[in-house]
Structure 1
Amino acid sequence: MPRPALPARPLFADIVTVLRSAGCVFAEEEAQLLLSGTPDRDELAEWIGRRVSGEPLEYILGWAGFSGLRIAVEPGVFVPRRRTELLVSEAVALLKQRLAMGGEAGVVIDLCCGSGAVGIAVASQVPVKELHAADIDSVAVACARRNLAPVGGQVHQGDLYAALPSRFRGQVQLIVVNAPYVPTDVLPTMPPEARIYEPRISLDGGPDGLSLHRRIIGEASEWLDSTGLLAIETSERQAAGTASVMAAAGLAAGTVHSEELDGTVVVGTFRSQ
């Protein structure tokens, strides 16, 4: 990979100029992160070259900032987005409400976990009894295990609920989900950082973006306890569709949207609650 032309002792402004010319919107912030990430000039030049070529900054640094935490990420793993912090805040609020009513934050499942960012962010704010995560991709599972190990979380590999131990049937208090929800025909229009570098399996939600949502919602009642909750990230455009799928499955659905984060979450509960 060709390295960008830099002075013998590149200054912050030099790196900002190179990044900005490559189309990096947050050039100043990225330059600071790159400079603080390595003291070695050759490695810094390599990193800048990778970023200029379009590789996600998080892959280069080896981590992503998310909900006030540093989440380990590596090439081939979905990079957690800021919009997903809404899913975390909603999950935390729901668990705290449960605790305030005398319940417990027992078993929490992070489904389609990727790096495990959502699960570990929730567990860092609420004392859950057990944290489990699952993903079908082996690279994501290995990365999630790195992130969840410090909090005692366990990560399982497999296709959605098939990855989970059967003992959790009817025992789960909360399932949090950031499953792929980009419609297949929209994938070519996504930014190159995602379209080229992130695995398609972490982006492609099927013809209408709801293929995974249907499967997840359809089986959720088998795993949740009688007061269990299901929280799914979706897009503002697709929220009505996700909520409709929940209603068809016998769940009462509520939608939350944040303009600041550009995030949308649909929460499902049993109608008797």
Structure 2
Amino acid sequence: MVLLSPAERDAVVARLRRAGCVWAEDETRLLVEAADGPEALVGLVDRRVTGEPLEYLLGWAEFCGERVTVEPGVFVPRARTALLVSAATAVTGPAAAVVELCCGSGAIIRALARRLAAPRLLAAVDVDPAAAACARRNLADLAVPVFAGDLFDPLPAAWRGSLDLVVANAPYVPTAALDLLPAESRRYEAPMALDGGPDGLAVLRRVAAAALSWLAPGGHLVVEVGEVQVDGFRAVLAGAGLVPAVVRDDALDATAMTACRPGCGRHAGPGRAARR
């Protein structure tokens, strides 16, 4: 941590604000805490004003009340994805077998490990070796295995038909809309973590198509989607033999979809989120 005079701190805040940082005061505090000397702080501020994500500079992101390690290129967990955690928790009973696909930093499976009742199996998968390595570091203390590979492919065959929950924050931004993302996402996060193909559902279609054979009867797939994609993905899920439901949280501006393998009971949703 660097000790700054009030004038020096104000100068950093002003520079960040000029660069478009909405929460310049908070960012200044975090950068000052992260720097191990004046030169290091100058370097961090220089990188931030050019658009590098704050989380990469700090080395962590806050998600569901925990600091999760994030490394350059690895998808930064978003606050809205807390809805995915809530939706998954609501449909999952005790002693569940849970797998997170497209895990990135492993933030979701880590949050679920804290919320689910005595899960009997937790695992995570990402096709990007860098993301898988980052997730392993985040999940080491929980002894959660992380597989590097494409969706379900690297999972043990013995797990087929036995998973109670599959959760995925798969890429769902349509390719043509990538240029509309904030510059720090476009320039610094791995494209494979963002690009969902022509309509944003290319990866999610593959997840849905395979999910039925991996879920146990009554098991659930839970994913995040864009609100405008709900009707299209509902049809995809139904066509894959799953029973879909939608969970929306306007405060988070987030939409999740749950899909049950037939054999389940009611479709639960987070207590304060609207279902439709």
- Unpaired runs of 5+ residues, structure 1, are 1-6
Is 2:86 the partner of 1:89? Answer: yes
- Unpaired runs of 5+ residues, structure 2, are 265-276
Amino acid at match of 1:26: W
What is the CA–CA distance in structure 2 between the aligned matches of 1:257 and 1:48, rounded to whole Å? 36
User: How is 1:1-273 mapped onto 2 (pairs within 5 angstroms)?
Assistant: 11-95=8-92, 98-99=93-94, 104-105=95-96, 107-126=97-116, 127-273=118-264
What is the CA–CA distance in structure 1 between the aligned matches of 2:190 and 2:133, rounded to whole Å? 15
CA contact (8 A) 2:35 2:44 kept: no
What is the CA–CA distance in structure 1 between the aligned matches of 2:18 and 2:221, rounded to whole Å? 43
What is the CA–CA distance in structure 2 between the aligned matches of 1:111 and 1:150, rounded to whole Å? 20
Give the 3-state SS of the residue equivalent to 1:226 in structure 2: strand
Q: Percent identity?
A: 47
**How many pairs are equivalent?**
260
Shift of 1:9: 8.2
Per-residue Cα deviation, 1:42-69 (whole angstroms, up to 9, x for no partner) = 1111000110010000000000000001
Per-residue Cα deviation, 1:92-125 (whole angstroms, up to 9, x for no partner) = 2222xx23xxxx32x1101000111111011012
What is the CA–CA distance in structure 2 between the aligned matches of 1:132 and 1:39, rounded to whole Å? 36
Shift of 1:203: 0.3
Give the aligned CA root-mean-square deviation in angstroms: 1.4
Per-residue Cα deviation, 1:60-87 (whole angstroms, up to 9, x for no partner) = 0000000001000000100000111100
Give the 3-state SS of the residue equivalent to 1:163 in structure 2: coil
CA contact (8 A) 2:128 2:148 kept: yes
Amino acid at match of 2:192: I
**Which portions of structure 1, spanning 4 or more consecutive aligned residues, are displaced by more than 3 angstroms?**
7-11
Q: TM-score, normalised by structure 1?
A: 0.92
Shift of 1:271: 3.3
